[in-house]
Every structure is written in C-alpha cells, then in structure tokens.
A and B are shown apart, each in its own frame.
Chain A
Amino acid sequence: MNNIKTSSAIRRRYRADGRFKVYCLAAVLFALLFLVFFFSDLMTRGWPALLQAEVQADIHYSEVVAEGRYRKAIDKSLRPLVSRGWLRTLPLYLEDHPQKMGSREELWVIASSAVDQYLKGHSSKLKLRHRKLVDKLKSEGRIKLAFNTGLFTRGDSKMPEIAGIRSAVVGTLYVLFLTMIFALPTGIMTAIYLEEFAPDNRFIRLIELNINNLAAIPSIMFGLLGLAIFINFFGVPRSSALAGGLTLALMTLPVVVISARAALKAIPDSIREGALGVGASPWQSIWHHVLPLAMPGIMTGSIIGLAQAMGETAPLIIVGMIAYIPDSPDGILDAATVLPAQIYTWAGEPMRAYAERTAAGILVLLAVLLSMNALAIGLRRHFERRW
C-alpha cells in the first residue's frame, strides 16, 4: 500500500475489467439484435395480413344461386376476381335470409387471394387480362385494400382469403380455461400440503423430487401421456378441448406447484405463529392469513405457467388438436384447434397468403402472451408487500 500511483499491473487489470464489460455489452446487443430482427421480420410479414383486397360487385340473389350455382350471383367479368370461398357461402346466406331472394345488392366482397397478392405487390398467379381489369377497377375506386376483419371473425379455410383465426382463438380459450380449472386448484392444494402439512420423510421427498423433475420433462411426453390416459383409457374424444386441456394441465401442474410453494415459503413463519398463537387452527391460519399473502405470488407463477401452456404445440399435436377445424368448437368435447397449432398448419401451406397469416397469427399469439406476462408483473407489483 506504499505506492498508490498506478502501476502497470493495475492498468492491466483495469484494461481487463474494461474488456470484460465490452464483452458483456456485446452479448446484450447481440441478443437485442436478434429480437429486433425477429420482431421487424414478423411485422413486415404479418402486417399485410391485416389488409384484404375487396371488390365492389353487384350481387344478384337468384333461384340459381340458392340451388347451389353460386357463381351466377355476380357478373361474369368479375367472377375470376372474387373469392370462391366467399361466393360459396351465398346459398346458405339465402337460406337464412329468404326475403333477399330475387333482389340485387351492391357490396364490397372479398377478392381472391391472387388479386389480393397482386394488389399488395407480391408475385401472383393472376392472368394478364385480369391484372389489367384489376388496374382499371382500382383507378375507378371499385377495388381496394380494406382492414381484414375476417382474419378475426372467420375460422380456418382452405382458401387463404377467407381463412381466419377465430376457431383457433375459441379453441385456445376453451383449452386454457380447462387447463386453469384443472391445474390451479390441484397445484395450489398440492403446494399447500407439501409446504404446510407434509412431514419431512423419504416419501414426501420422493414426491418433491418427482414434481421438480416433471417440470423439466419435454412437453411432447405429456402429449403421449395424455393420449394414453385421457383418450385411450378414459375415452375422451380426440382433438377435443377437454383432451387438450387435461394434457396441458398435466404439463402446467409442476410449474404451479413449484411457484406456489415458493410463494408460501416466502411468507414469514411469524404470521403462522401469530395466528396459531391466538388459537386459530392450522387450516384457519393458512386460509385466513398465509394464503391471502401468498396469493399474488401464486397467481404470478400460475399465469406464467398458463402462458407457457398457451404457446404449447407439441403435446396438442399428439392428442390430435392439429386437425383442420373451420368452425369454432361449441363445447369442450367438440374437435378444436389452438392458436399455435393453427400457426403450425398455416406455416405448412405453400401459398403466399398463408405465410402472411402465419406471421399475423404469431403476432396475435405474441401479443396475448406478452399481455399475460405483463399482467403477472402488474399483479406482483400491485400486491408487493412488506412485513
């Protein structure tokens, strides 16, 4: 300590410090770069799916249309530009609205995906003469790109221009709800037992070890387990929200147990002793005092577990939730699909319009997941408490 002037050794040490800091910063920037790339790529790909080409057409509700020759509903020249998928819905529409029979109506109708892609400036298999027609209609203001409400209000379709995420969203809601009602009570009760009541013996330690290991099992294994137990043994219908929800509940359970135990462990023992000291039973001390305090922590962990379940595809493929589901399920036993599975299906489609929808689906999924995580953080902030 007699020489406080910087020696070369000290300077070398500082240089090493500085280098280390630069490496760390570089790692952060690298990760950030990936994130920025990922999001901007998704945005630029997914954005166009929010717009959909529409053509102004004169619809003629005639007997022929009701009989099933729906293409006759519009003028021959416009037929190649209009979505066949949309035209196909006309007979059913007439059945529901018989008073429209024989009338005519000027409507903005969904254009075919070829027109849509052409208008968005992507490669399109639209024929040259149709391209000219589109250009002409565009200059007349009879064809436009409008907000694609159909993406959110329609189910899956083999025609990309009328394919939407609705059935997948409804399926996801069903599955998530079922996962929640199976996994949360079971998980929280398990955590309470293990944390508050269980004696410290070999059997309990074995259970704890198993739960901790379950959280690390590849999720596809839970799919196999769900297939074997719920579908093959209990006869739950394949592809149903019930099968998916139960399978994901199995997967989420260890996450809930572990986070709930951590939350319970964080409650100081003085709270329990205070309650027991005034003559509360062990159950009352937990129910009235410990659990309300641990609840924010439990909820945070549970929401993160559920968000993880929501983004899960692999186990659901195994229980058959990857099927083509154009209509929203009406109940937990109906065949359903979920958002990630829908994204997976669309990603496998060769048509460009599906690629857009894949990216848009991912954006929706990401938005929901991020808001769930934000909710978890918000809950934790709001209920953070000191004693």
Chain B
Amino acid sequence: MNEASSAEPVSSADAMIGIDGLRLWYGDHEVLHGVSLGIRERHVTAFIGPSGCGKSTLLRCVNRMNDRIQGCRLEGSVMLDGTDIYAPDVDVVQLRTRVGMVFQKPNPFPKTIYENIAYAPRIHGIARNGVAMDELVENCLHRAGLWEEVKDKLQQPGTALSGGQQQRLCIARTIAVRPEVILMDEPCSALDPIATAKIEELIDELKNEFTIVIVTHNMQQAARVSDYTAFFYLGDLIEYADTSTIFTAPNKTQTEDYITGRFG
C-alpha cells in the first residue's frame, strides 16, 4: 500500500466506506493518484485541501455523481458496507438513496417547501401522500432545525427562503430518504457566519444517525465539526488522522503549512 494508508486512523474493519487505491481521470488528466482511506460510521470526516486537490471529486465518487461527467473514468474501489459501489450489478439510483448529498450552492427544487421534502419519499415509495407524508415532512424539517421557521409556510416555494434556510431544507430533503451516508460538498461556502453556525450545529446532531463526509475550505469549520480530517494536495491524500492530531500535531510539513495558512 502507499503511504496514505499508513496514515489511516480507521482500521478497515471499522470503516463503513472503504476507498482503496482510487485513481480518477477526467479525459487524459489524472485528478486522483491512488487514494486510500476508510470512513467511519456515524462520525464526521472532513476533506480539506487547496482548490483543485481532488477532494470534491473524491466526495462525488462515493455516490457516483461523477458518472455524469463525460470522459471520467476511475480505477481502484469504493466499498460501501463491503459492497463495491462500482460493481456492474450496483444500481446507481439505489446507491444514491443510501448515500445522500448536499451541494455547495443550496439547490432546493423550485417547488413548495412541503414538496421539496415529499418528492423523494414519494418516488421511492417510503410514504404515500396524506397523514404519513405530513408526519414525515414535519419530522424531517424538525431534524433539520427548520420546522419552527417554516411550519406556517409549507406551501410557499422553497426558493423563497434565505440561503441558510434553503441549505437546511436541502439537508431535510436528503434525510427524508433515510440515507446511511450524507455527503456535503462545501455546504456553507455560500452562507453567512450565523447560517453556517446553524448548519454546523445540525451536523453535530446528525452524526448520531448518519455517517457524514464534508468537504470544506474553511479549516476552522473542519476543526469544529469533524472527528477525522483528511488533507489532500494535488490529487494525493497527504495525511489522514483524527482532527485534533491534524490540527495540533500534524505529521507532514505540507499539512502544517496548509493549516497554518502558509499556502493554499
């Protein structure tokens, strides 16, 4: 194995998501040069690193969102609970109900708040319309900490909410499908500090139920919310350890330079 796996703080037995020797190309351009790491269940793992280091790309491999990109191919494996998600018999649609995603820019559907939550459970048959659905919608909004703010305007468009509220709506929408993993791709980069604080609080609560992987440019955020942190640089996993180690006693000088702001 390469040096990245030696830094792995999670034994593969514990890992819910096991990424092994992952190499990824966009056309002829190799974006990830063999990344291996394990992600622990019901913990928050943060991916940090300067722009273009491949952290978002790696995140999007976990729910195969990269499949949409033309000319994207990969080698290596991504295991979810012992199943290779790139195996030919894996259904992508099914996979995405187990691995939800929250995007950089809040992207609620241009429909009502209610419909934003109800859409996915309906297409997956988790709940039919009526009381069961009403309960589910309320429950998800509660868990996303949004219920009090929107309970009187469920029939208003989700796009009319503030940015932070929209992002929490997107989180509520994601947990409505009851995924096991939630991927968050810089979920706070478009939000103000107060909205960011609310999302971070939410992440803290959600990790009791879900495995969360978060990509962030904000190192304080990584330090605050995550249990484990992986530092990437130019497509390589440089260091992966529990968050306090990374931020207080990093092994590699590159990591130290980055978190102290000397580059990136």
Q: How near does chain B come to A145, taking the closest CB pair, in angstroms?
A: 56
**CB-contacts of A83-101 with B (<8 A):** none
B174 proximity list for chain A (CB < 8 A): 277-278
Give the docked Cα–Cα distance between A223 and B106 (Å): 50
Q: Quick one: given A199-B70, A270-B105, are A276 and B65 in contact (CB under 8 Å)?
A: yes
Q: Indicate whether A275 reaches chain B with its CB closer than 8 angstroms.
A: yes
Q: Would B177 and A279 count as touching, CB distance under 8 A?
A: yes
Q: Indicate whether B103 reaches chain A with its CB closer than 8 angstroms.
A: yes
Q: How near does chain B come to A29, taking the closest CB pair, in angstroms?
A: 43
Q: Would A277 and B96 count as touching, CB distance under 8 A?
A: yes
Q: Mark A273-289, 1 if CB is under 8 A from B, else 0.
A: 11111111100100011
B97 proximity list for chain A (CB < 8 A): 278-279
Q: Indicate whether A200 reaches chain B with its CB closer than 8 angstroms.
A: yes
Q: Would B93 and A277 count as touching, CB distance under 8 A?
A: no
Q: How near does chain A come to B178, taking the closest CB pair, in angstroms?
A: 11
Give the docked Cα–Cα distance between A278 and B102 (Å): 9
Q: How near does chain B come to A271, taking the closest CB pair, in angstroms?
A: 6
Give the docked Cα–Cα distance between A387 and B94 (Å): 28
Q: Would A277 and B100 count as touching, CB distance under 8 A?
A: yes
Q: How near does chain A come to B74, taking the closest CB pair, in angstroms?
A: 18
Q: Would A276 and B68 count as touching, CB distance under 8 A?
A: yes
Q: Indicate whether A385 reaches chain B with its CB closer than 8 angstroms.
A: yes
Q: Quick one: given A277-B63, A277-B65, A280-B120, are A270 and B173 in contact (CB under 8 Å)?
A: no
Q: Would A278 and B100 count as touching, CB distance under 8 A?
A: yes
A293 proximity list for chain B (CB < 8 A): 110
Q: Indicate whether B247 reaches chain A with its CB closer than 8 angstroms.
A: no
Q: Would A200 and B70 count as touching, CB distance under 8 A?
A: yes
Q: How near does chain A come to B251, taking the closest CB pair, in angstroms?
A: 35
**CB-contacts of B27-77 with A (<8 A):** 63, 65, 68, 70
Q: Would B93 and A271 count as touching, CB distance under 8 A?
A: no
**14 A-B residue pairs with CB within 8 Å:** A199-B70, A271-B107, A274-B107, A274-B108, A275-B119, A276-B65, A276-B68, A277-B101, A278-B100, A279-B123, A280-B123, A385-B110, A387-B110, A387-B159
Q: How near does chain B come to A66, taking the closest CB pair, in angstroms?
A: 69
Give the docked Cα–Cα distance between A276 and B92 (Å): 9
Q: How near does chain A come to B25, taking the closest CB pair, in angstroms?
A: 16
Q: Which 5 A-B pairs have the closest CB atoms?
A: A279-B97, A270-B107, A278-B120, A277-B101, A274-B107
Q: How near does chain B come to A294, taking the closest CB pair, in angstroms?
A: 12
Q: Assuming A273-B101, A273-B103, A276-B65, what are 7 further A-B pairs, CB within 8 angstroms?
A: A268-B107, A270-B105, A277-B63, A280-B93, A281-B93, A387-B107, A387-B110
Q: Which of A199, A271, A279, A386 contacts B109 (CB 8 A)?
A: A271
Q: Indicate whether B142 reaches chain A with its CB closer than 8 angstroms.
A: no
Q: Quick one: given A277-B174, A280-B93, are A288 and B100 in contact (CB under 8 Å)?
A: no
B110 proximity list for chain A (CB < 8 A): 271, 293, 385, 387
Q: Would A278 and B108 count as touching, CB distance under 8 A?
A: no
**CB-contacts of A255-277 with B (<8 A):** 268, 270-277
- Chain A residues with CB under 8 Å of chain B are 199-200, 268, 270-281, 284, 288-289, 293, 385-387
Q: How near does chain A come to B114, taking the closest CB pair, in angstroms?
A: 15
Chain B: CB-nearest residue to A386: B159
Interface residues on B, range: 20 to 34
Q: Would A278 and B93 count as touching, CB distance under 8 A?
A: no
Q: Quick one: given A271-B109, A387-B159, are A279 and B124 in contact (CB under 8 Å)?
A: yes
Q: Would B103 and A277 count as touching, CB distance under 8 A?
A: yes
Q: How near does chain B come to A11, taking the closest CB pair, in angstroms?
A: 50
B105 proximity list for chain A (CB < 8 A): 270
A385 proximity list for chain B (CB < 8 A): 110
Give the docked Cα–Cα distance between A271 and B103 (Å): 11
B103 proximity list for chain A (CB < 8 A): 270, 273-274, 277
A199 proximity list for chain B (CB < 8 A): 70
Q: Indicate whether B137 reaches chain A with its CB closer than 8 angstroms.
A: no
B17 proximity list for chain A (CB < 8 A): none
B94 proximity list for chain A (CB < 8 A): 279
Chain A: CB-nearest residue to B108: A274
Q: Indicate whether B170 reaches chain A with its CB closer than 8 angstroms.
A: yes
Give the docked Cα–Cα distance between A274 and B123 (Å): 14
Chain B: CB-nearest residue to A385: B110
Give the docked Cα–Cα distance between A278 and B103 (Å): 12
Q: Would B170 and A274 count as touching, CB distance under 8 A?
A: yes
Give the docked Cα–Cα distance between A289 and B111 (Å): 9
Give the docked Cα–Cα distance between A271 and B109 (Å): 7
Give the docked Cα–Cα distance between A289 and B105 (Å): 17
Give the docked Cα–Cα distance between A199 and B170 (Å): 30
B96 proximity list for chain A (CB < 8 A): 276-279
B109 proximity list for chain A (CB < 8 A): 271, 274-275, 289
Q: Which of A200, A272, A278 contacts B173 (CB 8 A)?
A: A278
B63 proximity list for chain A (CB < 8 A): 277
Q: How near does chain B come to A17, taking the closest CB pair, in angstroms?
A: 42
Give the docked Cα–Cα distance between A288 and B177 (Å): 17
Chain A: CB-nearest residue to B101: A277
B176 proximity list for chain A (CB < 8 A): 278
Give the docked Cα–Cα distance between A385 and B174 (Å): 24
Give the docked Cα–Cα distance between A174 and B109 (Å): 39
Give the docked Cα–Cα distance between A199 and B69 (Å): 10
Chain B: CB-nearest residue to A275: B109
A270 proximity list for chain B (CB < 8 A): 103, 105, 107
Chain B: CB-nearest residue to A284: B123
B107 proximity list for chain A (CB < 8 A): 268, 270-271, 273-274, 387
Chain A: CB-nearest residue to B173: A278
Give the docked Cα–Cα distance between A276 and B97 (Å): 9
B173 proximity list for chain A (CB < 8 A): 274, 278
Q: How near does chain A come to B195, taking the closest CB pair, in angstroms?
A: 18
Q: Which of B102, B108, B119, B159 contacts A288 (CB 8 A)?
A: B119
